Structure 1
């Protein structure tokens, strides 16, 4: 059985990993926004276009990887808190606010991943005649990576809030125990 101090240290460690990975992902999204191809980067050869490779592709991949690490780590904290509360007390219920925050985090995660995958895919080199889709060159619209960064922050805040609200309620159940002292009267 884990000692309480080890339990708190492990959760604090995972929380720090989750928050730092999420913040790194946001920073990488902002860097990708700055480094994305602009309209003046398009080169034309007759009716075929060409977009050179840029650093937004690498930043987008790194942002996606960091965001997945942050989401998985924060979810492990949430499930550890909710499962340990359920094991200690058969009457334990996950609070409604925790469930709502958990769903918000997964919706934000899904939308952010879709935005990041699409924008990152468009940031690859688009050779003459190949393009991104149907032989045409496409540019990432301004604000797409920033929108992803905002969704990352929403997902990170909501899953962290969900994990912490579950932890808070699991400690309340321990306060109701009656301790009987043995000894001389």
Structure 2
């Protein structure tokens, strides 16, 4: 595997670990129902929470990883092998589609959870004796889907890179193929001596 491929996979994998760690940390720091104080006037007072910066940072890290892996790999539809072997292309296409689907869901979960935790120091009206808080598993789900999205992106990138390196019509496979003008051995020619008076004798016969 080329150094460029290893470097990109390592960088994106590191961002995947960071995103997941931040997502699980935000899950642990989210505002719970027990943290909200109810007032006799029917309002909810929310405490300060670190879930907001953790969730936003996780979303940004996820976006950076997605941009890196897709910029390095390029468009899967533009790199389809026109030759009969399409196994690698099919795997890359599936990973590409599922990676983007999981990315969108994970990104929305992380940012939505972070936005809903941005209520510290404010009093909100509650309905039916209920204060709205982020449900358990929102940040954790975003973290898991982030890992899935980036992992599928890495598989997609490695699959296309491997297919490109063994492209049957690539320049690296021209070795052993005659590219110049074919060499034709000279034919064996025999010299025939004709007497000088042969032509003259034919004219007078």
Q: TM-score range by the shorter chain?
A: 0.7 to 0.9
Larger radius of gyration: 2
Out of 47, 62, 74, the residue aligned to residue 67 of structure 1 is 62
TM-score for the superposition, normalised by structure 1: 0.79
Give the Å deviation of 1:109: 0.5
- Counterpart of 2:18 in structure 1 is 24
Q: Does 1:39 align with 2:36?
A: no
Give the Å deviation of 1:82: 8.1
Matches within 5 A, 1:146-185: 146-173=140-167, 174=170, 176-180=173-177
Q: Which runs of 5+ in 1 are unaligned?
A: none
What is the total number of aligned residue pairs between the two structures?
170
- Counterpart of 2:107 in structure 1 is 113
TM-score for the superposition, normalised by structure 2: 0.72
Give the Å deviation of 1:12: 2.4
Contact 1:42 1:50 in 2 (8 A): yes
Relative to total residues, which structure has the larger helix share, 1 or 2?
A: 1
Contact 1:30 1:146 in 2 (8 A): yes
C-alpha separation in 1, matches of 2:4 and 2:77: 15
Q: Which runs of 5+ in 2 are unaligned?
A: 180-205
Matches within 5 A, 1:2-151: 8-46=2-40, 47-79=42-74, 95-126=89-120, 127-129=122-124, 137-151=131-145
